[in-house]
A = this chain, B = another copy of it.
Amino acid sequence: MAHGGGGKLMHQLIGKMFLPVFGGAAHEAPHDASVFEIGGQRVAFTTDSFVVRPLFFPGGDLGSLAVHGTVNDLAMAGARPLYLSAGFILEEGLPMETLWRLVSSMQQAAQKAGVQIITGDTKVVDKGKGDGMYINTAGVGVVGHGLKIAPSSVRPGDVILVNGDLGRHGMAIMAVREGLSFESAIESDSAPLAESVLALLRAGLEIHCLRDLTRGGLTSVLNEIAEASALRLQVEEKLIPVRQDVRAACEILGLDPLQVACEGRFAIFLPERDAARALEVLRGQPDAAGACRVGEVTEQAGARVLLKSLLGTQRILDMASGEQLPRIC
């Protein structure tokens, strides 16, 4: 079970089993989307399955999540998402109204994200064998930029930006699951990110790396990048935006907000000189008013992530392992 949470065990599973078997020539490194060329055009391709419970939660549902997740994986390659596939695994007995609501939500999310769902498949499994409904989406997009957006492009001196407050998606899910109630419900941050990324690219910024902060949250992403680039990353707790209600819910459940999944948040690595302009561009995008700088890539070698805490102390921000990470994306 611990293999599904997005932490160390998952990385080991992917590293040991899937990459040696599947990693074709087109697949440079473990990344959100693979890029290949068709007709002289660079094309990004990615897939994700969505198994989150409950099916409906404040700020979203499994259907919109399945669209945003794949759109965002394409966006992290700097691609303009164009087409999605949708594979439904339905458990016998799923109310048709539930299916209809989720399908309609997908359609709305696709429209909002500027993509078309053009191919699909439906399978029904025996009652008790499917937990209501699972959705897989795969996506195809076109890469218009000439940059190499990848962990290996990250350089000492790069700054690390995020597009808003962290942890809302995960805590929206967990609050429902655990029956926590607050004055107002925590709403998921689930949202499509392609427009923000394309706006950054249009502004001519030298983007080195992009990552959506899904499973394992900011902590997992920073550790992946540190490992892949063999560089030391430094973030400051006081710069990292976490809403008070999210922080409170995390405290009650014993979770670290920096390890909680988002579905509409991403980290941007780019040179210091482009940081101010990038923040200006991001803050002009929907849902990114709270974009800010959270840290930088240091000159020091050594693949690790350091957090300067609110108290001014410094500690290693290690990747979460196994069961600490509830499956919420």
* Chain A residues with a Cβ under 8 A of chain B: 1, 3-5, 10, 13-14, 17-18, 21-22, 24-27, 33-34, 36, 38-41, 43, 45-51, 82-83, 85-90, 92-93, 99-100, 103-104, 106-107, 116-131, 134, 136, 138, 140, 142, 327
Contacts and interface: CB of A to CB of B under 8 A. Distances in A.
Contacts of A48: 87, 121
17 contacts: A1-B124, A1-B127, A4-B122, A10-B122, A17-B103, A18-B103, A24-B116, A26-B118, A27-B116, A34-B83, A34-B119, A36-B82, A39-B40, A39-B142, A47-B119, A123-B134, A129-B129
A136 B18 CA distance: 15
Contacts of A83: 26, 34, 36, 45
Given A34-B119, A120-B47, A125 B87 contact: no
A18 B117 CA distance: 10
- Integer count of this chain's copies in the complex: 2
Nearest to A108: B21
Contacts of A1: 92-93, 124, 126-127
B119 A45 contact: yes
Given A39-B142, A47-B138, 11 more contacts: A4-B122, A10-B122, A26-B83, A26-B116, A27-B116, A34-B83, A45-B83, A49-B88, A125-B327, A129-B131, A138-B138
Given A49-B121, A49-B123, A131-B130, A142 B87 contact: no
A107 B3 contact: no
A89 B1 CA distance: 11
A193 B236 CA distance: 55
A126 B119 contact: no
Contacts of A18: 103, 120, 122
Contact of A21 (B45, B51, B92, B104): B104
A46 to B, nearest CB: 5
The 6 closest A-B pairs by CB, nearest first: A4-B124, A39-B41, A138-B138, A39-B39, A47-B85, A24-B116
A24 B138 contact: no
Nearest to A10: B122
A126 B52 CA distance: 11
A118 B47 CA distance: 10
B122 A22 contact: no
Contacts of A50: 123
Contacts of A5: 124
A47 B128 contact: no
A43 B49 contact: no
Nearest to A132: B129
B90 A4 contact: yes
A22 B92 contact: no
B138 A131 contact: no
